[in-house]
Structure 1
Amino acid sequence: MTTASRAHSFNMAAAQYAASRPSYPPALFDTVEELIGRSLAGARVADIGAGTGIATALLRERGADVIAVEPGDGMAAEFRAALPDVPLVRGDGNALPFADASLDLLTYAQAWHWTDTGHSVPEALRVLRPGGALALWWNIPACDVPWISAQHERIAHHCGVTSPPAARHDDSQAARLAGLEGLSPTRRQVRWSRTVSLDLHLSNIATHSAFLVLGETGTQAFLAEERAHLREIFPDGRVEEGYEVDLLVAMR
């Protein structure tokens, strides 16, 4: 399965993605503002790999003049339904549809790892104004919470990932930093949580690319077993999901 195929697998589950994926806490955007040294209000921002618009909507709420870029048909359709008045262009981070030195901030929420940094880094440098910034972030499950760590292991086993947990964590960190060495990014982590129904929690799991490419039969088998595991931990059917947003900000 190629990276491109995995990236485009989200289009088949775009509505489910929009309904079940976690958002981001206000503290994330406070930290972005701190690191870029300016308010998001009035900033010219492009949200790349915008998906269904989860981050785009929050950037707009902070007063940013935001335009979204999304390559996928299904994700773009959900975006337009949710944010009909926000500009959306089709494309990706490897060939940005913007003029040189035209943006104050480029954001990638859960999307940088789908780019080819041999193209996306030069493109970011091209379109950012002097003093502009590139901000990348990911919602990472809080694996210091025992039940989340155990679930992470079950998912890895089901999806055929056999490397030790520490190695997978190191690999994911390396992937997030790839191509940014010359930009000297600043890294911060923002801890947060949300409480959702068990059904929504399982729906969120099913929107991850590892399950989308696995197929319906394999996914449903895992979710049925996982429901039984979690019923023992959360008998009231309310699941507290813990996250740590991994944020990287590099200045132009």
Structure 2
Amino acid sequence: MTDHALRALSFDAAAAQYDAARPGYPPALFDAVEELTGRPLSGSRVIDVGAGTGIATRLLRERGAQVTAVEPGAKMAAQLRGTLPDIPLVRGFGDALPLADGCADLVTYAQSWHWTDPARSVPEALRVLRPGGALALWWNVSDPAVPWIAAQDERLRRELTYGAHGAGGRARRLPDGLESVERRVHWTRRVPLDTHLANLGSHSVFLVLGEEATTHFLARERAELLALFPDGVVEEAYAVELTVTLSAPDSSM
């Protein structure tokens, strides 16, 4: 199994940790989705692919969307089912969506597009979208303009050869030839240091690194951050990177 595949499947082992520690998304993100798609979320049929434990699914429903979650991992899906029992849930992958043609107004990928093969996932998203529907991809990326975040990311790159705060820029891009618009939404959250470290440890690089190495790294990180945040409360800063692509309108109309 490739490293990419191992990391993609690794989240199942930490579903509860992922759900408890990962950040959500600010209201301004969903305002931007509505603006760029030209359609309110309320009443829209939304397919949330790679839904994980339902962090984005929950927020989409709170905006009035009729959401169906698609998630391949058994434990991630079970966590979603436990907290959102009334949300329709389909086990599947973005590269082969088990859904009918033209069934959605919006297909979303929150923090999950980089685990797909765009040569397959783009046609699948366009297939399940109605004419004039939209594909929206977004990621919470820790803001490197904040000095302590830049320093942490440098430690991660140096010690783990990995940028921990999001998928690489190329992985977040759609294939050439698709017209898309992009938006960046900045926001912050204040969390206990333990939550910040649990969030960090829920990234795939740690989930496949092994318990001993992960424990050592996070212990050193705790000491670094306590020097900066002696009250034990960390202010995380994010820039949500959003990309929206509209499907072609119905030519018969």
**Is 1:199 aligned with 2:194?**
yes
Q: Which residue of 1 aligns with 2:207?
A: 212
Could you tell me which of 148, 171, 175 is aligned with 1:175? 171
- The letter of the residue matching 1:220 is T
Specify the SS of the correspondent of 1:176: coil
Alpha-carbon distance, 1:2 to partner: 2.5
Alpha-carbon distance, 1:178 to partner: 3.9
TM-score normalised by length of structure 1: 0.95
Q: Where do 1:52-131 residues align within 5 Å?
A: 52-131=53-132
Q: Decide which structure has greater helix share.
A: 1
Alpha-carbon distance, 1:236 to partner: 0.4
Q: Which residue of 2 aligns with 1:17?
A: 18
Alpha-carbon distance, 1:177 to partner: 0.8
Task: Structure 1 unaligned segments of length 5 or more: list them.
Answer: none
- The letter of the residue matching 2:41 is L
Q: Where do 1:38-49 residues align within 5 Å?
A: 38-49=39-50
Q: Which residue of 1 aligns with 2:241?
A: 246
Specify the SS of the correspondent of 1:67: strand
Q: Which residue of 2 aligns with 1:229?
A: 224
TM-score normalised by length of structure 2: 0.94
Question: How far apart, in 2, do the equivalents of 1:215 and 1:158 lie?
Answer: 14
Alignment root-mean-square deviation, CA:
1.4
Task: Structure 2 unaligned segments of length 5 or more: list them.
Answer: 248-253
Q: Residue deviations 1:77-108, cap 9 Å, x none?
A: 10001100101010010011111111100000
Q: Which residue of 1 aligns with 2:250?
A: none
Specify the SS of the correspondent of 2:127: helix
Runs of 4+ in 1 over 3 A off after TM superposition: none
Question: How far apart, in 2, do the equivalents of 1:54 and 1:13 lie?
Answer: 15
Count matched residues: 245
Question: How far apart, in 2, do the equivalents of 1:232 and 1:2 lie?
Answer: 35
Question: How far apart, in 1, do the equivalents of 2:117 and 2:25 lie?
Answer: 25
Question: How far apart, in 1, do the equivalents of 2:75 and 2:207 lie?
Answer: 14
Q: Which residue of 1 aligns with 2:30?
A: 29
Q: Where do 1:136-175 residues align within 5 Å?
A: 136-161=137-162, 172-175=168-171
Question: How far apart, in 2, do the equivalents of 1:79 and 1:239 lie?
Answer: 27
Alpha-carbon distance, 1:5 to partner: 1.2
Q: Percent identity?
A: 62
